[in-house]
Amino acid sequence: MNPLAHRPFVKMNGLGNEILVLDLRADPVEVTPAAARALARPQVLPFDQAMVLYPPRQDGTAAFVRILNSDGSLSAACGNGTRCIAALEAERTGAPHVLFESEAGLLDCLVRADGQVEVDMGAPRRGWRDIPLARDVGDTAAVVIPGFEALGPACLVSMGNPHAIFFAADADTVDVEGLGRALEHHPLFPERANISFASLTAPDSILLHVWERGAGRTRACGTAACATAVAAALTGRTGRQVRVTLPGGPLQIFWRERDDHVLMTGPVEHEFAGTLTPAMLEEAA
């Protein structure tokens, strides 16, 4: 029997970004890529990202978080998922301030009185090795990607995971699926990339569509919203505080100047809870 069988789960979403939460702090076991793919099947527990909580490695943190995409690949960061687990932890403990560990670093979260959750996503990384890219491309804020010259320059940045942001006259008209699928696997991105298409709707407002590596097109992506806000400020399109609206709804993004950290604020929604069954995991063998 799969060791995940009979473990409790919580299904949540952040702006429609589907999140599966598995709290394994009491009895840690590995969530394999095959198990993630089995659970993500449409007829089982379809999700974009699974947030798996393990015992903390540092004093003062609630958990170490491992993040898996629906295709079983690992992700170092997920903003919407982090808001979800912060809300759960604050509900469990009664403390609005929560600190998690992740592969991307510490995630400092605050659950506000109105239910909105703020997450400090840390500082963006812009060096070609840090994103990472396959080679030095010069200015990462303006990169013309071979084979996709017609899209114009992309701004490349990491928010714990690699992002390529293209600005368009109207992001609603872009072939997100076709271009996203191709660009995710472009040779320039050795670890694949999240692909975003953005357009300005006001001096401090951005419309955004996202193709997430390992998950495909999603209704929302927190790290993409953060990366896009950074890209818009870097290229002089906006200031450091913007509203980013995705198909699932808006996020408030603030790229703080004093420490270079990006703060993301938005809602979460609790869908349902349950227990994993052997049948859910049968294709993970």
Q: How far is CA 211 from the centre of its chain?
A: 11
Residue numbers annotated as active site = 78, 221
DSSP-based three-state secondary structure for 260: coil
**H or E segment and range at residue 52:** strand 49-54
Say how far apart CA 51 and CA 159 lie, in whole Å. Answer: 17
Short-list 75, 23, 67, CA closest to 191 = 75
Say how far apart CA 36 and CA 19 lie, in whole Å. Answer: 12
The dihedral sign for the CA sequence 254, 223, 217, 195: positive
